[in-house]
Amino acid sequence: PEGASRAGWAALRIGAGFMAGAGLVFLLVPEAVLALFTADPSVTRLGVSLLYVAAVWQLFDGLQVVATGTLRGAGETRTPMLGNLLAHWVLGLPIGYLLAFPLGRGVVGLWIGLSLGLMAAGSLLLLAWALKVRSLLRRGPHRPLALEQGSTCGYP
């Protein structure tokens, strides 16, 4: 369990670090990023607004993806599924819809809502990983994970 804990936390640090770096690029030089794809000033103006939102998205997307993988590797598949379902479909998409249409924020509002859902997913799954690690370390090294009561790996 100690090795799995160290590997999971290392993966989360690497993922968060890489994605935070990408987010910083989006924040610091959005025009340069967009120049790779378009020379149209109106597209660039909108793109800069979206890259500012995407900068925040990057960090939490990295956390969500890596935390999902660490939990799945530890045999926990329901928590990532439910966490992502709730965060994206119950929180992010409805908020995005409200911001985009009734509140008139358009595509930027949609992406803000989706980013809030992703922030919730990343935070929730990071907490779930911390709780899973604590459980694994308490259980000790001798009991196979597949025998853990309530494990979602294997057959029901």
**Confidence bin at 122 (pLDDT 50/70/90):** very high
Residue 134, pLDDT score: 96
24-44: per-residue pLDDT in tens?
Answer: 999 999 999 999 999 999 999
Q: DSSP label at 1?
A: -
Per-residue pLDDT averaged across 49-61, rounded?
Answer: 97
Residue 142 has pLDDT above 60, yes or no: no
Mean pLDDT of 116-136: 97
Distance of CA 18 to the CA centre of its chain: 13
pLDDT in tens, 67-96: 999 999 999 999 999 999 999 999 999 999
The 10 Å Cβ neighbour count of residue 69 is: 17
Cβ-based neighbours of 34, under 8 Å, separated by 6 or more: 43, 44, 47, 48, 51
